Amino acid sequence: MLSAFQLENNRLTRLEADEIKHLASSVWVDLVEPDDDERSRVQTELGQNLATRPELEDIEASARFFEDEDGLHIHSFFFLKMPTITPATLPWRLPSAKAALFTLASANYPLSASTVCACVTRRWLTATPTNCCSTCSRPKIEQLADEIENIYSDLEKLSRVIMEGHQGDEYDEALSTLAELEDIGWKVRLCLMDTQRALNFLVRKARLPAGQLEQAREILRDIESLLPHNESLFQKVNFLMQAAMGLSISSRNRIIQDLLGGLGGIPAANLVASSYGMNFEFMPETTLELCYPGAIVL
């Protein structure tokens, strides 16, 4: 899928593939799983070679952040939380060419609504690839901050269920939710660290104007403030996990003690069997008619 953003009256306007006459006039070209025709069009009109799926999924630093004749290449992760799938990170490559910014996604997911809204509603005096790139980072960080707040709220509810220690369906569901929140926390941390590296690379390699440089540094300060909060989430999750394990072991020990106490009142089988040393010759009771049924009852 191919779409592009063009600057009209200091506003970015999004155009679909059939509405775009010339890609060269676009400020921002967005591609999601482009087919061969779309790749050929980008190559013909803009001279841009698009990355393949293996290149998008490569996590090596040198492959994700580099500079060549086409400009700066930044392979960044975006957090996705869809209602039908487990929250995951979506890798994007943003090759900032001299004339336009390219965003290339590896899965069939469009730009998040918050990212598009932040770019479309803003009034642009000058729309450059680096400016668009740093602007995309702002809603991304705000989304991650919202996820951290949601995890804090969910952990507060789970802590009451776990600390009460009442075994049941609600308790088991709380443990399952706790594991899911830990997974979300790790993905949030990955996106925070990835954005931090991307912005540091952008500040180091691109000659940003004073306004864009201050914007990038402000986002970096926000990331620095969010990382300790995200780390405290893992400490909270670890504490609740250990508390749940301790309560579960304590409950299991009480059950075992109750069983042992009940079994203590029942004579052991070897005690009954050794009453006469298993010597039937000296057991006068064996001649009685009801001896065998009585032994069974005993």
Residue 3's CB: how many other CB atoms inside 10 A? 19
The DSSP code sequence of 155-177 is HHHHHHHHHHT--SHHHHHHHHH
The confidence score (pLDDT) of residue 116 equals 61
The confidence score (pLDDT) of residue 143 equals 87
Residues 6+ apart with CB under 8 A from 183: 86, 87
Residues 6+ apart with CB under 8 A from 171: 161, 162, 165
Residue 217's CB: how many other CB atoms inside 10 A? 13
Residue 226 CA to residue 192 CA, distance in Å, equals: 8
Please indicate whether residue 138 or residue 22 has the higher confidence score (pLDDT). Answer: 138
Residues 133/96, Cβ–Cβ less than 8 Å: yes
Question: Would you list the domain boundaries of the chain?
Answer: 2-251
Asked if the model's pLDDT at residue 88 lies above 60, the reply is no
The confidence score (pLDDT) of residue 223 equals 93
The confidence score (pLDDT) of residue 127 equals 59
Residues 6+ apart with CB under 8 A from 41: 2, 23
Backbone angles phi, psi at 135, to 5 degrees: -65, -35
Share of the chain above pLDDT 90, in %: 7
What are the pLDDT digits (tens) for 141-160?
888 999 999 999 988 888 88
What are the pLDDT digits (tens) for 222-257?
999 999 999 998 888 888 888 887 777 766 667 767
Provide the pLDDT confidence category of residue 90 given band limits of 50, 70 and 90: low
**Averaged pLDDT for residues 18-38:** 75
Asked if the model's pLDDT at residue 110 lies above 60, the reply is no
The confidence score (pLDDT) of residue 148 equals 92
What are the pLDDT digits (tens) for 33-73?
777 888 888 777 777 777 666 666 666 656 677 777 767 77
Provide the pLDDT confidence category of residue 271 given band limits of 50, 70 and 90: low
Region of poorest pLDDT, from 22-36, 49-63, 266-280: 266-280
Residues 70/77, Cβ–Cβ less than 8 Å: no
Is the Cα torsion angle 231, 233, 239, 244 positive or negative in sign? negative
Residue 178 CA to residue 237 CA, distance in Å, equals: 7
The confidence score (pLDDT) of residue 296 equals 64
Share of the chain above pLDDT 70, in %: 62
| Averaged confidence pLDDT in the chain | 74
149 token code pair: 């707040």
- The full length of the chain comes to 298
The confidence score (pLDDT) of residue 60 equals 62
What are the pLDDT digits (tens) for 162-208?
887 677 777 788 888 888 888 888 889 988 998 898 888 888 887 77
Name the helix (H) or strand (E) containing 260. Answer: helix 210-263
